[in-house]
């Protein structure tokens, strides 16, 4: 992605940029918080629908129709009104930061919001964080006013950081995300716009949803140094899984692109039908997966006959869900895959404390897969600390993050958003020829 976005150093505060960043952050918290609220209420509705319809062939047919309509309509809205709303959107923000371009916020805001809700309601394995980052950046564009070019770009980065804050109620992770993934150089302009934006987003988000941790850890002590090699091995496995995740996403996008004779909404509808099949067989694998991630953190280790199918099915469903081109992020599926991998290690290592190591292995697996895929270990570490409101497992999580990062680098896999951005650039160049 190059050397990142550089802003001219200045010793003078840009008061207008600070005020607009604060407004953008508050709006990101309001919109992102409402997005989370809607998705939180869709989750029990979807599970009730599966329980009511999944017990018979006729019922499953009705469920498949509901999921197919939701996914197909999500894709139709995207293609019809704002194609750049497809997928996560983080790579789109990165491209606009690098080029200094603008987001089509008037179209992006409603389409990203509604189509993202439809995709998650249809059981597709996607997260909310990519859409909220995209929405935050769009809101920053909406309030940019007549700022000069450099403050506009700082405001765009601040809005994106505020969006991630709203997705997880994680303001520090939002700020680190702007530095590490968006690669915005820390200086007076960036800090004076980014920090008010993430704080404004956090205050509005927690006012709507509360400030409880997303993943509640049981009371436990930090693992002893004797078991640290187990976390190093987990990091290597997480690196391999992260590489498989990245290559699967890119392969899925290429496969769906090759299906040009089939209309886009029909491709997405087919994924909705597949999600209905998975919902009746392994409901834990559909949606963003936060409830199953919480269960994997708190509960004793499950048998491999449960964990292995969950890992494979979640990976496959995420690949096809992202590949069909509906709006949705990949952080949440990564966290589920990492927690599942950690639970697998827990079940394989009962002789070193299995059950008592469960939460530590699950959260370390989360950070390891995230670090391998996104190649942003600091963001991953800070994010997990904020999601759990706990830092006593930071050493083991850091070991897994380092193992995942180095393994992915050794396998010469590219960070996922860099690869997605290059793919979008190539498509844009081809379209102009």
Per-position pLDDT tens, the chain of length 433: 444 555 455 567 899 999 999 999 999 999 999 999 999 999 999 999 999 998 889 999 999 999 999 999 999 999 999 999 999 999 999 999 988 888 999 999 999 999 999 999 999 999 999 999 999 999 999 999 888 888 999 999 999 999 999 999 999 999 999 999 888 888 889 899 999 999 999 999 999 999 999 999 988 888 889 899 999 999 999 999 999 999 999 999 999 999 988 999 999 999 999 999 999 999 999 999 999 999 999 876 788 999 999 999 999 999 999 999 999 999 999 999 999 999 999 988 766 654 568 899 999 999 999 999 999 999 999 999 999 999 999 999 999 999 999 999 999 999 999 999 999 887 766 654 5
Q: What's the structural domain count of the chain?
A: 2
Residue-level pLDDT at 277: 96
Is the same domain home to 23 and 151?
yes
Is the same domain home to 197 and 315?
no
- Identify whether 5 is part of a domain: no
Please tell me the number of Cα atoms within 13 Å of 114 on its side-chain side.
14
Please tell me the number of Cα atoms within 13 Å of 403 on its side-chain side.
25
Is the same domain home to 166 and 256?
no
CATH number at residue 53: 1.10.3080.10
Residue-level pLDDT at 417: 95
Is the same domain home to 281 and 350?
yes
- Identify whether 200 is part of a domain: yes
For residues 21 and 194, the answer to whether their CB atoms sit within 8 Å is yes
Is the same domain home to 78 and 153?
yes
Report how many helices (DSSP H) and strands (DSSP E) the chain contains, helices first.
17, 0
- Identify whether 328 is part of a domain: yes
The tokens of 268 are what?
A: 């997405």
Residue-level pLDDT at 101: 85
Domain hosting residue 393, numbered range? 225-429
- Residue where a domain terminates, one of 164, 185, 209: 209
| Nearest-angstrom CA–CA distance, 261 and 266 | 10
- Identify whether 215 is part of a domain: no
Region class of 169: left (phi > 0), else alpha (psi between -120 and 50), else beta: left
Neighbours of 56 (CB within 10 A): 9
Is the same domain home to 199 and 313?
no
- Residue where a domain terminates, one of 209, 237, 261: 209
For residues 365 and 352, the answer to whether their CB atoms sit within 8 Å is no
Is the same domain home to 183 and 266?
no
């Amino acid at each position: 992605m190059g050397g990142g976005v550089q802003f001219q150093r200045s010793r003078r505060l840009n008061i207008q940029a600070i005020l607009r960043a604060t407004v953008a952050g508050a709006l990101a918290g309001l919109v992102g918080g409402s997005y989370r609220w809607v998705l939180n209420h869709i989750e029990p509705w979807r599970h009730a629908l599966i329980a009511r319809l999944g017990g018979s062939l006729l019922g499953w047919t009705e469920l498949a129709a509901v999921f197919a309509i939701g996914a197909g309509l999500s894709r139709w809205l995207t293609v019809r009104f704002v194609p750049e709303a497809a997928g996560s959107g983080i790579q789109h923000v990165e491209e606009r930061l690098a080029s200094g371009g603008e987001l089509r916020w008037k179209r992006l805001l409603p389409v990203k919001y509604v189509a993202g809700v439809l995709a998650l309601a249809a059981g597709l394995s996607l997260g909310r964080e990519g859409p909220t980052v995209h929405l935050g950046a769009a809101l920053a564009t909406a309030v940019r006013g007549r700022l000069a070019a450099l403050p506009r770009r700082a405001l765009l980065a601040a809005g994106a950081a505020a969006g991630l804050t709203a997705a997880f109620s994680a303001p520090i992770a939002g700020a680190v995300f702007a530095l590490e993934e968006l690669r915005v150089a820390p200086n007076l302009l960036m800090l004076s716009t980014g920090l008010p934006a993430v704080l404004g987003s956090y205050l509005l988000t927690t006012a709507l949803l509360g400030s409880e941790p997303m993943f509640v850890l049981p009371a436990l002590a930090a693992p002893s140094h004797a078991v640290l090699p187990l976390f190093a091995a987990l990091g290597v496995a997480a690196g391999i899984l992260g590489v498989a995740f990245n290559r699967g996403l890119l392969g899925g996008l290429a496969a769906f692109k090759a299906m040009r004779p089939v209309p886009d909404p029909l491709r997405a509808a087919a994924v909705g039908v597949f999600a209905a099949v998975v919902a009746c067989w392994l409901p834990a694998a559909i949606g963003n997966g936060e409830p199953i991630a919480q269960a994997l953190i708190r509960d004793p280790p499950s048998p491999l006959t449960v964990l292995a199918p969950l890992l494979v099915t979640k990976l496959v469903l995420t690949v096809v869900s992202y590949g069909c081109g509906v709006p949705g992020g990949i952080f949440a599926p990564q966290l589920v895959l990492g927690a599942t991998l950690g639970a697998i290690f827990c079940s394989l290592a009962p002789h070193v404390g299995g059950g008592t190591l469960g939460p530590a292995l699950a959260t370390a697996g989360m950070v390891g897969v995230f670090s391998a895929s996104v190649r942003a270990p600091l963001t991953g570490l800070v994010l997990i600390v904020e999601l759990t409101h706990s830092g006593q497992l930071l050493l083991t999580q850091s070991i897994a993050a380092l193992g995942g990062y180095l393994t992915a680098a050794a396998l010469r896999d590219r960070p996922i958003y860099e690869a997605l951005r290059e793919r979008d650039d190539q498509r844009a160049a081809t379209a102009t020829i």
